[in-house]
């Protein structure tokens, strides 16, 4: 992976419908992810959880598509 900082929009364009593991994150005042460095990406959420398990420090996991099949969330 490169150390290129991408905006959230750039991540969504470059990695459509994939899970991302992002470090060196920049957040808005409302904790919205603005940019970061993608260190792993995969269509499999399990791959990203595995990659994130070896990292110590602040990071984010983000899905660039709609809700994956079978996943729901509550606001």
> Of 56, 73, 1, 29, nearest to 20 (Cα)?
1
Q: Where are the alpha helices (DSSP H) in 1-58?
A: 8-14, 45-52
Q: Is the pTM of this model over 0.95?
A: no
| pLDDT at site 1 | 55
Please count the CA atoms within 13 angstroms of the CA of 58 that sit on its side-chain side: 7
Would the pLDDT of 74 be above 80?
no
**pLDDT tens digits, 12-54:** 999 999 999 999 999 999 999 999 999 999 999 999 999 898 8
């Amino acid at each position: 992976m490169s150390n290129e900082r991408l905006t959230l929009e750039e991540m969504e364009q470059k990695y459509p419908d994939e899970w991302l593991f992002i470090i060196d994150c920049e957040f808005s005042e409302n904790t919205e992810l603005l940019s970061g460095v993608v260190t792993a990406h995969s269509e499999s959420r399990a791959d990203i959880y595995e990659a994130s398990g070896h990292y110590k420090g602040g990071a984010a996991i983000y899905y660039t598509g709609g809700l994956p099949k079978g996943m729901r969330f509550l606001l």
